Each structure stands twice: as structure tokens, then as C-alpha cells.
Chain A
């Protein structure tokens, strides 16, 4: 039983991470109808930025500031850095190609993805960076109720993710910008005619999506410790899976989907096989694609002919 709850906690932690990334995909897809292929790389950069701040503050074993402050700084820096990177990507890859085929921005984003991965490799070298979160966040702290044992790191990740998701939902429903994003996702031309600044709205969507990815990157560092150049690739694929399962373009869908993927991965890895966990997650994706292509919360596309 203890093992089960452990996997459950793992799954929810992982799922929170994927959910944040998936939301990033969905927000961007919502406003421009395209996937930000480079999202995984933004996540990776966020993780590295977080590590950079960590090192700058003295490193895992010799933090010069209180742990809480360090974490806040790490998250903030990653959020800001990744957000700006996302805006840059939008300017370079997506805006010039806004009215061209579907393929052009995708291939461009693919190119950017490769370029980012290798730029980081060139500039920072191939060494794996290690957050060593156990050095400053004691492993034994956390909730300990009977057989339920959740470490502080995991609590931190889950709580942060939930808070972000709540804030985001409020943002989308209540704020002007959130409404603008929704209107652009329904009908860009009509939104433009109603006075919505399309460029700014799209840029904001990229900023928010990338910001979330950056925060997820730092979370990944805290939970898994290891941070490396290729971490964005598979994580991105799985987060996308979550976004699709939940219904691409839908934020609650992305949350659910990401969570599902995290749980699926955790349980598969524990009970079936950890080598083939990706294969199984992929299998789940294929199944969903066959049975309900628009996902759990996806909108049915009404084709105007």
C-alpha cells in the first residue's frame, strides 16, 4: 500500500510538471492554431537558468541566502528568462509565417528547437548539471502520515503547480487579456475587428506558456536533480500527449491530460516496466487518437466550407 501511495505521489508530481508544460502548448495552440515545437527547449532553458541562479547564490551545498529566497529567485529568473525566450521565438519563427502554410512555422520551430539544444550544448558544455535539491531541502522533511510520505520537494512542486493553474484559470476567465486570448482563439479576424491587438495577444500567450515551461523546468531540476540539454525533447513529447488527451486548446483539458500522463508514467514505470514506459504512454496516445481524436475537453471543430 505504501508503494502504491508513493507511486501516486510521484505520478501527481510528474503530472503537475507535465500539466504546466501542456498548458503552455494549449495556450499557444489556442491563439495561433499551431504547436510551439520549441516548447520543450524553453523548459530546458528554464531548468538551466534556475541552475545558474542556484550556482550564483553559492551552489547547492553553500547557499548564501535562505532556501526559500533562493527558490523564489530561481523560479522568478527561470520564469522571466523562459518567457522572454518564448516571445523571441514567436517573433522569429511564428510571426513572419503567420499566414503561410501549417508546415512552415512547424519546421521553423523544429529548426529553432535543434538550434537551442545545440547552442546550450556549445555554450555550457555537455556536463550534466545537478540541482542536488537534497542538500538544501532536507529529504526527510515533509508530510509523514502513516504510510503516506510526501517529501517537501514534491509538496512544493504540487502546490506551486496548483496555485499557478488556479491563477491561470482566473486570468483567462476574468482579465481583459485572458478574454482577448479566448476571442483570438475562436476567430482571429473577428477579434481584430473588435479592437483586440492581435500581435500583443499572441505575444502574451507565448510569454505565459513559456513562463510556465520555465517554472516547470526548475521543478524538474528540483525533483529529478539532473538537468541536461536533451531533457526538453521527451518531456515535450509527453506534455504534448497530455495536451492532446485533454483536448488541445483547452486549459482544463491540458491540466487533466498532463496529470493523466504523469500518473500513467509513474504507475507503468513501477508496476509494468520502466524501460518501456514511453512506449506505453505513446500507446495510450494512439488509443485516444483513435477513439476520441478531439480529446477529453476538446472543442468539436466546426468546419466552415
Chain B
């Protein structure tokens, strides 16, 4: 192309150099960024393990909080309270979520309603959790005139629905069409096919999705602030204010007492271990069976 081969060679070798230099710079930048990102992660985990493990003891799991100024005490009531609220949320949220997912995957192909619901679910997923708290407050706490675990459970259930629905749909989509057609071909009615064939085949993935949703709401504090409200004593009554682990950590972290800070760290470790355990289980499930490549 160029008239003078010498100049062209010099120019092209310069261009080649510049191009490969840019390439290397980008590579280095990408590697450095990854390291920069991994540092806070390791820092958070390391510090959490260090602080949490050194403050954790048996009393944490067996005692209720002590009054200010007295050493010891634990968060047993908060762990139980969290369990109650999360149980209620799962009971309300998961069936609705799975139902919506089944509709999206099995009944709505090519219908505008399916697209609209899918879109709404995705958008609802991004709504701040504190807004769910306000909604539950206005719906339940306001009319009842008192805070309650029930309201907290409802707020968390609302947050679970879109997540469960979308993962259920995605997991059902990985079930091969032929399996469904085989079932329908045997004359099995559609509802039975959906329940015993599609859902059954996709069940590991759906359980995964439910646990992901569970893990996500398990750490939520904002929607519980003015619904479950927290409680310093034993309470199993879902119609009354009830303690929750994230809520207790929040209150204790902002308190001026060292003893409470210690408990907050221990609580954070317990919470994280709980969530990590479910996420890791999810990982194991996800790497098995039907879900392979379904990601």
C-alpha cells in the first residue's frame, strides 16, 4: 500500500508496539483492579472472623440481652425471632413466588401478560427494602396500632416473591421440552405434568432459588425497623414486637457501649455464617444435575 517500504515498516512496527503496549496496560489494569476489589472483601471477612470469633461464646446463643452496664448476655431471643419472621416470610412468599414462576414458564410463553409480569418482577426486585417496610407499616402496623412480627414477615415475604418467581421460571426453562411432551403424550393432564414432571425435574434449582431469596432477606434490617421493631425479651408472639438478629446488630453497633459492640460483631458473624452456608449449598446444588449449564 505504502510507497516507501522502509518507512512503512518503521511506522507499522511503531504501531504494533503501541498496540501491544496498550494491550498489556489494559491487562495489567484489569489484574490490578481485581486485586483492589478482592482486598476489601478479604479485609471484611478477616476482620469479621477475628472480631466475631473472639466475642462469640455459648451465652450468645442461650441468653437474652443484659441491661446496659451489665456484662454478658446474648442474642438468643433475636436468633429465635429472626427464625420466626423468616419462617413466616417463607411461608407467605415462596408459594406465591413459585406459582408466579410456574405461570411465567409454563403458561405465558409469547403472551404479553407474561412479559409484563416478568418485567414487573424485575423492577420490584430493585425497589428499596425500606419502602417495603413503609408499606407493611401502613398496611398492618398502622391499623393495628402496634408493631408486630407479622408485619415484618409480610414485608420480607413481599421481597421474596419476585426473586423466587424469576429463579423458578429460569429453572423451569431448563427442563427439556421433550420431557413435558412425553408426559402430555401419555395423556397426563397439564397440571399434573407441571407438578410431577416440570417442577419435580427442576426442584433442585427451585430450592436453590428459594434459598437465595431466603439468604437475601435474612440480612435485611431496613424493612424490620418499623415493623418487627425489636424486643429485648423472649417473645414468640408474632402479633407483638419481636427481636431480629440484623435489627439487634444495628442497634448495638450504633450504641456507645463496648460490650454491645462485642455482641454486634458476634451477631454479624452468626448472620454471615448462616447466609454463607445457604449460598454455598446453593452453589453445590447449582453445580449438579439438571442445572448444569442452566445458569
* Chain B binds chain A: no
List residues of chain A with CB under 8 Å of any chain B CB: none
List residues of chain B with CB under 8 Å of any chain A CB: none
